[in-house]
Amino acid sequence: MFQRKTIHMITEDIAIIPEGSMLDSNLYVIGTAGNLMLIDSGNGMATNRILSLIKNQYGTDEIQAILQTHYHIDHILGLYQFKKKFPDIKVYAHEIEAKVIEAGDNRYINPMANMFTGPLQSVIEPIAKVFGINPEPTKVDIKLKEDDIIKWGSLSLKVIHTPGHTPGGICLHDKQKKILFTGDTVFTHGSFGRVDFIGGSAELLQKSLKKLADLEDVEILLPGHMNPVLKNGKKHLEIASSMW
Ligand SMILES: [Zn+2]
């Protein structure tokens, strides 16, 4: 639906910068100029391009905050780049993910580097290093937990802890506007996050998917990968939950 590395307004104060081609994630920009938050920060390979897109759209590329739905490499490498340019950016993440982010723990952030042993390891490791950006211990300023509310511009985002893909993965729900950001917990048409990385749990993901499917007010579904859904998002959550 959307072209890669372009910016599109989804609502009056949510924009998407769709994922690039390789191990990348969707970025969402929320708020207005002077009060911009990114939801996830991508793989860091197109930071300058992303900043110029934001500048074109908002008249400034200054970002005030970055919220990480979880700590994986394809969602977080951009954080280190953006923080270099704007050191005062406030970082938000669930308190469990914060431990990994603050330690810069590569075992969790880049699980592919450790998934294989034997001959495959020599192939996978260089692929994992292709980005040339290493996780750096980074302070998480706001440590989130279940039911916290983040008020940002006209959005009021409730934190929903959805472990399974990672232990402290979160979704963000604006009940009134019927918007749900889902990170890598659930995507569209019944697809959901993988559970085979370190820290993953099929049992917990199943529970998280059920929790999301039970939400009443979800029209717009904004996942970490694939296209967003602009209508009847709840249906996609129900399909994913019914797959188990
Ligand atoms: Zn992930």
Per-residue pLDDT of the chain (244 residues; tens, 9 = 90+): 566 689 999 999 999 999 987 789 999 999 999 999 999 999 998 899 999 999 999 999 999 999 999 999 999 999 999 999 999 999 999 999 999 999 999 889 988 776 666 666 665 555 556 666 788 999 999 999 999 999 999 999 999 999 999 999 999 999 999 999 999 999 999 999 999 999 999 999 999 999 999 999 999 999 999 999 999 999 999 999 998 7
Whether 168 maps to a domain, the answer reads: yes
Burial class (CB in 10 A: 0-12, 13-18, 19+), 235: middle
Quote the CA–CA distance of 77 and 7 in Å, as a whole number.
19
Residue 14: in which H helix or E strand, if any?
strand 14-17
Residues with CB in 5 Å of ion ligand 1: 72, 184
Give distance in angstroms: CA of 166 to centre of ligand 1. 7
Give distance in angstroms: CA of 175 to centre of ligand 1. 24
Give distance in angstroms: CA of 72 to centre of ligand 1. 5
Whether 3 maps to a domain, the answer reads: no
Whether 31 maps to a domain, the answer reads: yes
- Quick one: CA dihedral 131, 137, 140, 143, positive or negative? positive
Nearest to 7 by CA among 45, 50, 46: 50
Q: Where are the alpha helices (DSSP H) in 104-174?
A: 106-109, 119-128
Q: Give me the number of domains the chain comprises.
A: 1
Give distance in angstroms: CA of 23 to centre of ligand 1. 10
125: domain CATH number?
3.60.15.10
Q: What is the pTM of this model?
A: 0.93
Give distance in angstroms: CA of 59 to centre of ligand 1. 31
Whether 132 maps to a domain, the answer reads: yes
Give distance in angstroms: CA of 193 to centre of ligand 1. 7
Residues whose CB is less than 8 angstroms from the CB of residue 103 and which lie 6 or more positions away in sequence, other chains included:
137
- Reduce the DSSP state of residue 32 to 3 states and report it: strand
Whether 32 maps to a domain, the answer reads: yes
Quote the CA–CA distance of 222 and 96 in Å, as a whole number.
22
> Which residue range forms the structural domain that includes residue 53?
8-242
Is residue 79 within 8 A of residue 66, CB to CB? The reply is yes
- Quick one: CA dihedral 89, 79, 106, 98, positive or negative? positive
